[in-house]
């Protein structure tokens, strides 16, 4: 049985050291209050230039189709592409180590102070800020991809299906993904 390399799985490997993988994903995890997606894109695409916008969108799309958190899946895929299984583990630990420790402390504090009105108000405000961060990241991704009308239409349909009609994300991905592939395939045949 032959062993597969990161290049066999993902194409050309990324030139990222284990230290850089850990530090980059640690930064994403440490700064990702309310969700790490906005910070992840900024670090991976803008600051470190590990991936282009299009490559990041592909990794994120695969991550959304898999079980688990999108950014965790992205960390594992990027780490694997850079350094194989050890890189995947390093990126995952960098992403999750700090937040996990903070979560344990926050859970203990919430158990003690969670009924206070000030704490409830702060958590409500944090939820609103997180929604704004997600919307901002989506807009940045759409503008960086240079999508055609058909792709924008599918993005809008997905938003309406999931955001307005509450269709489960996995069902929307399977149905709209299959239809979008069929549309592209049909266009390529012409």
Q: Tens-digit pLDDT profile for the chain (190 aa)?
A: 455 554 555 567 889 999 999 999 999 998 876 668 778 999 999 999 999 988 998 998 898 888 888 899 999 999 999 999 999 999 999 999 988 898 899 899 989 998 999 998 988 888 888 888 888 888 887 777 777 888 888 888 998 999 899 999 889 989 998 998 888 888 888 7
Are 48 and 119 in a shared domain?
yes
Are 43 and 65 in a shared domain?
yes
User: What sections of 146-168 are H helices per DSSP?
Assistant: 149-159
Is-contact 33 104, C-beta < 8 A?
Answer: no
> Residue 11: left (phi > 0), alpha (psi -120 to 50), or beta?
left
Is-contact 170 188, C-beta < 8 A?
Answer: no
Is-contact 153 161, C-beta < 8 A?
Answer: no
Are 158 and 112 in a shared domain?
no
- Determine the structural domain holding residue 162 and report its residue range: 148-190
Taking the CB of residue 51, how many other CB atoms lie within 10 A of it? 19
Are 26 and 61 in a shared domain?
yes
**Residue 1 belongs to some domain of the structure:** no
**Residue 91 belongs to some domain of the structure:** yes
Total domains in the fold of the chain:
2
- Name 163's Cβ contacts closer than 8 Å, sequence gap at least 6: none
**Residue 108 belongs to some domain of the structure:** yes
Helix, strand, coil % over all residues of the chain, rounded to 5: 80, 0, 20
Q: What is the pLDDT of residue 103?
A: 86
**Residue 25 belongs to some domain of the structure:** yes
Are 114 and 185 in a shared domain?
no
Are 50 and 122 in a shared domain?
yes
Are 74 and 163 in a shared domain?
no
**Residue 81 belongs to some domain of the structure:** yes
Are 106 and 158 in a shared domain?
no
Are 72 and 118 in a shared domain?
yes
Q: What is the pLDDT of residue 8?
A: 52
Are 43 and 58 in a shared domain?
yes
**Residue 155 belongs to some domain of the structure:** yes
**Residue 2 belongs to some domain of the structure:** no
* Nearest alpha-carbon partner for 26 in 100, 95, 102, 99: 95
Q: What is the pLDDT of residue 17?
A: 95
Taking the CB of residue 147, how many other CB atoms lie within 10 A of it? 15
Is-contact 32 40, C-beta < 8 A?
Answer: yes
**Domain limit, last residue, from 146, 162, 178:** 146
């Amino acid at each position: 049985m032959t062993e597969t390399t990161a290049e066999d799985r993902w194409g050309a490997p990324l030139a990222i050291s284990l230290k850089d993988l850990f530090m980059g994903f640690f930064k994403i995890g440490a700064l990702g209050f309310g969700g790490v997606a906005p910070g992840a894109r900024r670090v991976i695409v803008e600051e470190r230039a590990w991936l282009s916008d299009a490559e990041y969108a592909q990794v994120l799309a695969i991550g959304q189709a898999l079980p688990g958190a999108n950014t965790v899946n992205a960390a594992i895929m990027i780490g694997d592409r850079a350094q194989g299984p050890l890189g995947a583990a390093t990126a995952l630990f960098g992403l999750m180590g700090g937040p996990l420790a903070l979560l344990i402390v926050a859970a203990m504090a919430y158990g003690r102070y969670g009924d206070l009105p000030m704490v409830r108000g702060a958590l409500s405000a944090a939820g609103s800020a997180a929604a704004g961060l997600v919307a901002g990241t989506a807009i940045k991704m759409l503008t960086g991809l240079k999508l055609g009308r058909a792709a924008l239409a599918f993005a809008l349909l997905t938003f309406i299906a999931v955001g307005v009609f509450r269709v489960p994300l996995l069902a929307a991905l399977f149905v709209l993904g299959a239809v979008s592939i069929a549309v592209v395939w049909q266009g390529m045949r012409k």
